Amino acid sequence: MADDAIRRRVTVQGRVQGVFFRDSLRQRARSHNVTGWACNRSDGAVEAVFEGRPEDVERLVEFARAGPRQAEVENVEVSEEQPEGLTDFEIR
């Protein structure tokens, strides 16, 4: 992982499950060399972690604010974390 890598944890609330949100995140993450994961939470939110170069991670965070066409994003929470050196992007 690059020395300048950052990590962001994102929680997205709204109509975000059942609309290919996680898979859309995975596709964009892989195309921008961002690692991490995304999962559905029991409260209806999608939670995701992004690791990579700052500009690439920010692209994913911005996408999460809108989501795929079928999604209706109501709220996004973003927090900073220390990178762990993840090597792929997975759906959990």
Q: In 3-state terms, what secondary structure has residue 13?
A: strand
Catalytic residue among 8, 22, 28, 59: 22
Q: Which structure tokens are listed for 70? A: 């079928």
- Which pLDDT belongs to residue 75? 97
- Which pLDDT belongs to residue 1? 53
* Residue 22 is among the residues annotated as catalytic for this protein: yes
**Cα(57)–Cα(4) distance, rounded to whole angstroms?**
11
The reported pTM is 0.93
Catalytic residue among 8, 26, 28, 40: 40
Residues of the chain with pLDDT under 70: 1-2
- Which pLDDT belongs to residue 2? 58
Angle at 40 between CA 90 and CA 29, to 5 degrees: 35
* Residue 41 is among the residues annotated as catalytic for this protein: no
Residues 61-82: tens digit of each pLDDT: 999 999 999 999 999 999 999 9
Fold of 6-83: Alpha-Beta Plaits (3.30.70)
Are 50 and 29 within 8 A, CB to CB? yes
Tokens 């992007």 map to which residue?
89
